Amino acid sequence: MLGDFTYCNPTKLYFGKNALDGLKGELGKYGKNVMLVYGGGSIKRNGIYDKVTAILRECGKEVTEDAGVMPNPTVEKLNEGCERARACKADLILAVGGGSVCDYAKAVSVSAYCGDDPWQKYFIRFEEPTCKLIPVGCVLTMVGTGSEMNGGSVITNHAEKLKIGHVFGEEVFPKFSVLDPEFTYTLPEYQMKAGFYDIMSHILEQYFSGEDDNTSDYIAEGLLRSLIHSSRIAVKDPKNYEARSNIMWTATWALNTLIAKGKATDWEVHMLGQAVGAYTDATHGMTLAAVSMPYYRLIMPYGVDKFARYAVNVWGVDAAGKSKEQVASEGLDEMEKWMREIGLVMNISELGATPDMLDGLVKATFIHESGYKVLTPAEVQSIFEQSM
Amino acid sequence: MLGDFTYCNPTKLYFGKNALDGLKGELGKYGKNVMLVYGGGSIKRNGIYDKVTAILRECGKEVTEDAGVMPNPTVEKLNEGCERARACKADLILAVGGGSVCDYAKAVSVSAYCGDDPWQKYFIRFEEPTCKLIPVGCVLTMVGTGSEMNGGSVITNHAEKLKIGHVFGEEVFPKFSVLDPEFTYTLPEYQMKAGFYDIMSHILEQYFSGEDDNTSDYIAEGLLRSLIHSSRIAVKDPKNYEARSNIMWTATWALNTLIAKGKATDWEVHMLGQAVGAYTDATHGMTLAAVSMPYYRLIMPYGVDKFARYAVNVWGVDAAGKSKEQVASEGLDEMEKWMREIGLVMNISELGATPDMLDGLVKATFIHESGYKVLTPAEVQSIFEQSM
């Protein structure tokens, strides 16, 4: 823990098969006007909408619905949500959905009364909120983003071809989140698997950076081992509660600030993956999966000690009599085997990327100076080429 | 995560070499009357008292001192503290010290306005507070108990020969804690080492229980590996900041509710160690160390899968070609080697226990029904005998 830091995560979590029982008590803490935010309506098909609205009615809430939050919430939708939140004088924004719905709820929370253009204020100028915030609560139906217990919010501006995230402070974190692993069972298998890799990538982005000896990396290794173990069970048996609940909990801790404390972090895989996403609109987790192996194999020689540690501590590689490079390399081979076993997409061509996009992909990739190797544009291009 | 649970930990932590800089901002959130709680005066010798009081003065606080909190805070001291807190109309209790001082501050917080006998209400009848609470903040000078980020409070009643802990809910958690690893440098080596084992024991008490497959156990393994690694460095080089800071952070997460989520826990080592403590007044962490090996060797056959996992995942035992029992046993051997390397007390006789205390020790040991083996009184006796 060589770096100084602060830690504060006040979100209250209700976890398990009866997690939704916690909602009633939470609703009592807020006024009568609730803005109910959700996405494309899958919550109506799987019954979660009925359960939530029954509790809202029982608690005598005045509910204003704000449906249709898209996978990548747009600035237009955000502006519309702000107007609606003001019109209904929302005392609470209740987000029922996955990371996008939670992200959007937080964006409305900080924007409704900011008296400014939220896109400019928060996503271009990266200012912090000083206005009245509308409290946010979440009922999670998808696992992966960690949005249920952090201050992250990603908004897309199609006109400007920009998708930008702002990580807000703890005053913007959801006040509470309901995490029932069974609420994620109806998710299509492809989305479930993409979520698994989103979690994996969140942990690795924080793990593969820094030369210091840090407790955060040990916690990260524990989370990785749990994820690898449970994901192998879940792909064979998606309704295995033990596996799915472990994965849900791992996802929360993978991106709620804990494992980044006191250390450097990378996030270059997200930069590469987001470029692919901007060109193909492919599922986020799969874009990360498709670029990861070429990226990690490229940077491995520059962080060989950490990659060798990863091989031994996470993948159980036997280091006896081998060079560090060999151990590190075997760890990445094990990782690739697991990715194929899980059924992740390993090539950006499978996600719709074509050779004529290469130049654009390279230009669209923001290069962080934070990992074991600062990429050159030629290296970025080589990663995309290897992933074709 | 087979069990349902809630999680909420709102304590704000300031961590690192400049952690105390966070105090000023926190003080601004509370009224002018601060009750400054500390122990035997070591904070005056090491300069921390001067640093803290300078900030209190700078913030224009009216300070009432409540010094002399003993290692095992008594009910008499608690009653005195409550009177003092009411008399000075404390808006904040600032605890500067180790776990006992933090524990005591939380006890005063819930007791000052409870309108009842606090010992009876909280430590005999185990009621929850319904009265006005006085907010608590901590500046930590000793590592081990985790009291800086949990609701635990242990109070001793000498007249009744009882030492009882109450784990309060998140409304009683410290509002903030200042964690500067360098503030722990002046601690005597014996106390430092006892603290290391206190942390170890906190993690193991939560790890060695339950048959389910749980992310919490993976996080626990990460914390254990970090602790083992850094403690080996710290005993050779007590001012190694990296090692001491990792241990401080590990201690916080070892007992702030996270690694118990969704699973069973044991706590029998604490029951055995507290009996020794009641008879010898020995340092808590050392009492836990002295009883651990006989206890774990006794229960190992009843939880052999978990002990084998512990051997491989925590101690790096090579399981190839060995029986589970052998692997488990080698893990405990590695643990014992580490304990001797660190310089922990391995026998209760070294702590002042004598054979004539045996009957009393057995009677004083509360038997939990929560670990891999519910002990019989004969087994409790055998553990103490082996530790003589």
Confirm or reject contact between A302 and chain B (CB < 8 A).
no
Distance from the B192 Cα atom to the nearest Cα atom in chain A, whole angstroms = 18
Distance from the A130 Cα atom to the nearest Cα atom in chain B, whole angstroms = 17
Collect all residues of chain B within an 8 Å Cβ-Cβ radius of residue A250: 215
Of all residues in chain A, the one with the smallest CA distance to B9 is A10
pLDDT band, very low/low/confident/very high, at B281 (cuts 50, 70, 90)? confident
Collect all residues of chain A within an 8 Å Cβ-Cβ radius of residue B206: none
Q: How far apart are CA B105 and CA B168, in angstroms?
A: 13
What confidence tens digit (pLDDT) does each residue in A223-258 have? 999 999 999 999 999 999 999 999 999 999 999 999
What was the pLDDT predicted at A160?
A: 84
pLDDT band, very low/low/confident/very high, at B278 (cuts 50, 70, 90)? confident
Collect all residues of chain A within an 8 Å Cβ-Cβ radius of residue B4: 15-19
What confidence tens digit (pLDDT) does each residue in B26-40 have? 999 999 999 999 999
Of all residues in chain B, the one with the smallest CA distance to A23 is B6
Residue A161 pLDDT greater than 80, yes or no? no
Please name the residues in contact with B179: beta carbons below 8 A apart, sequence gap of 6 or more: B13, B14, B15, B16, B19, B140, B148, B248, B249, B252
What confidence tens digit (pLDDT) does each residue in B45-102 have? 999 999 999 999 999 999 999 999 998 899 999 999 999 999 999 999 999 999 999 9
Confirm or reject contact between A8 and chain B (CB < 8 A).
yes
Residue with tokens 């020794």: B276
Average pLDDT, stretch A326-338?
Answer: 98
Residue A334 pLDDT greater than 80, yes or no? yes
Average pLDDT, stretch B95-117?
Answer: 97
Confirm or reject contact between A2 and chain B (CB < 8 A).
yes
What confidence tens digit (pLDDT) does each residue in A136-155 have? 999 999 999 999 999 999 99
What was the pLDDT predicted at B221?
A: 98
Task: Quote ipTM for the complex.
Answer: 0.96
Average pLDDT, stretch A16-28?
Answer: 97
Please name the residues in contact with A226: beta carbons below 8 A apart, sequence gap of 6 or more: A246, A250, B215, B218, B219
What is the DSSP code string of A262-292?
Answer: TS----HHHHHHHHHHHHH---HHHHHHHHH
Confirm or reject contact between B231 and chain A (CB < 8 A).
no
Contact B22 A9 (CB under 8 A): no
Q: How do B152-157 and B162-167 pair as beta strands? A: antiparallel
Residue B184 DSSP code: G
Residue B1 pLDDT greater than 80, yes or no? no
Confirm or reject contact between B38 and chain A (CB < 8 A).
no
What was the pLDDT predicted at A41?
A: 86
Confirm or reject contact between A315 and chain B (CB < 8 A).
no
Contact B213 A250 (CB under 8 A): no
pLDDT band, very low/low/confident/very high, at B161 (cuts 50, 70, 90)? confident
Average pLDDT, stretch B216-223?
Answer: 98
What was the pLDDT predicted at B84?
A: 98
Distance from the A278 Cα atom to the nearest Cα atom in chain B, whole angstroms = 34
Q: Of A16, A19, A25, A50, nearest to A36 (Cα)?
A: A50
Confirm or reject contact between B140 and chain A (CB < 8 A).
no
* Mean pLDDT across chain A: 96
Q: How far apart are CA B83 and CA B90, in angstroms?
A: 11
Collect all residues of chain A within an 8 Å Cβ-Cβ radius of residue B184: none
Confirm or reject contact between A378 and chain B (CB < 8 A).
no
Residue B343 pLDDT greater than 80, yes or no? yes
Q: Of B254, B144, B269, nearest to B208 (Cα)?
A: B269
pLDDT band, very low/low/confident/very high, at A328 (cuts 50, 70, 90)? very high
Contact B7 A16 (CB under 8 A): no
Range from A55-64, A160-169, B266-275 carrying the lowest mean pLDDT: A160-169
Portion of chain A with pLDDT greater than 70, in percent: 100
What was the pLDDT predicted at B164?
A: 85
